[in-house]
């Protein structure tokens, strides 16, 4: 049925997918600009890396089935809001919130939904800040609002989620091992969250001592 929909709507479907690609470019550029500004202003880059993807047809189909989404172009466009995905990887948890706020302050970005799995981690131990936003893309004659999901993670959160994601696709793991892996992964998530906290604390101390140094410099006589 889904293949039918793609087959019958080949042109509009290709068009829709290209809008998602354009929206990803818009959002990615916004984060590159913010990173550049931080680099000039504070001499540091809060963003370690940006990953982007358009959801595969397989994954879209799985979501249609799981959530009983109407199998029409409109149904997909309106109900699957993570077809365009941008993942922003930061060094420290505080950078995540600062960047998210700077991004949301931009007047062409509309926040649709915010899920804070850092403050409220998932049962699996998963941590990340998810924002569903709408971003305009400007076409020849029209402006189109496109949904994009932005996921913010630290390097540690991303490392954990990538490994755990692989496990979700392994079907032939014996029951006893599956339980062990689940517990192990949960424990690793707790430990990596603790590590993130300690690294953040170290960075804060370094930043404070740096600004004290700078304050002292201000009082040095200039010859």
Whole-number minimum distance, CB 168 to ligand 0O2, in Å?
7
Specify whether the CB–CB gap between 93 and 196 falls below 8 A: yes
Judged by CB under 6 A, which of 55, 76, 93, 131 binds ligand 0O2?
55
**In terms of CB distance, is 24 or 38 closer to ligand 0O2?**
24
Residue 110 phi/psi, 5-degree rounding, is: -110, 125
Touching ligand 0O2, residues 88-107 (CB under 6 A): none
Integer Cα distance of 33 and 171 in angstroms: 41
149 a catalytic residue: yes
**In terms of CB distance, is 120 or 176 closer to ligand 0O2?**
120
Q: Considering only CA atoms, which of 125, 131, 135, 134 is closest in space to residue 151? A: 131
Residue 65 is a binding residue for ligand 0O2 (CB under 6 A) = no
End-to-end C-alpha distance for the chain, whole angstroms:
80
Judged by CB under 6 A, which of 51, 130, 182, 203 binds ligand 0O2?
130
Q: Which tokens go with 179?
A: 């339980």
Judged by CB under 6 A, which of 82, 94, 98, 116 binds ligand 0O2?
82
**In terms of CB distance, is 38 or 131 closer to ligand 0O2?**
131
Q: Which stretch binds ligand 0O2 (CB under 6 A): 33-41, 101-109, 123-131, 178-186?
A: 123-131
Which of 48, 77, 98, 149 does the annotation list as catalytic?
Answer: 149
Specify whether the CB–CB gap between 124 and 115 falls below 8 A: no
Specify whether the CB–CB gap between 193 and 155 falls below 8 A: no
Judged by CB under 6 A, which of 26, 95, 158, 164 binds ligand 0O2?
164
Q: Which tokens go with 176?
A: 């006893």
Q: Which stretch binds ligand 0O2 (CB under 6 A): 26-34, 103-111, 118-126, 175-183?
A: 118-126
Specify whether the CB–CB gap between 125 and 185 falls below 8 A: yes
**In terms of CB distance, is 21 or 39 closer to ligand 0O2?**
21
Pinpoint the alpha helices (H) of the chain. Answer: 2-8, 10-42, 57-67, 73-79, 93-105, 155-168, 175-219
Catalytic residues: 149
Interacting residue ranges for ligand 0O2, rule: CB under 6 A: 55, 59, 82, 115, 122, 124, 126, 130, 161, 164-165
């Amino acid at each position: 049925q889904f293949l039918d929909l793609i087959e019958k709507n080949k042109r509009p479907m290709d068009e829709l997918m290209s809008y998602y690609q354009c929206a990803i470019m818009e959002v990615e550029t916004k984060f590159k600009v913010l990173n550049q500004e931080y680099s000039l202003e504070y001499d540091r880059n809060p963003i370690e890396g940006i990953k982007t993807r358009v959801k595969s047809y397989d994954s879209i189909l799985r979501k249609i089935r799981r959530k009983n989404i109407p199998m029409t172009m409109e149904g997909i466009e309106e109900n699957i809001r993570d077809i365009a995905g941008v993942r922003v990887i930061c060094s420290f948890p505080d950078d995540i919130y600062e960047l998210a706020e700077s991004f949301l302050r931009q007047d062409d970005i509309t926040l649709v939904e915010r899920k804070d799995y850092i403050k409220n981690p998932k049962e699996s131990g998963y941590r990340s800040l998810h924002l569903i936003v709408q971003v305009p893309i400007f076409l020849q004659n029209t402006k189109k609002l496109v949904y994009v999901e932005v996921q913010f993670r630290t390097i540690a959160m991303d490392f954990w989620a990538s490994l755990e994601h692989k496990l979700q696709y392994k079907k032939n793991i014996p029951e006893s091992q599956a339980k062990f892996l689940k517990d192990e992964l949960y424990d690793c998530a707790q430990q990596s969250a603790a590590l993130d906290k300690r690294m953040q604390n170290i960075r804060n101390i370094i930043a404070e001592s740096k600004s004290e140094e700078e304050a002292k410099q201000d009082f040095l006589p200039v010859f």
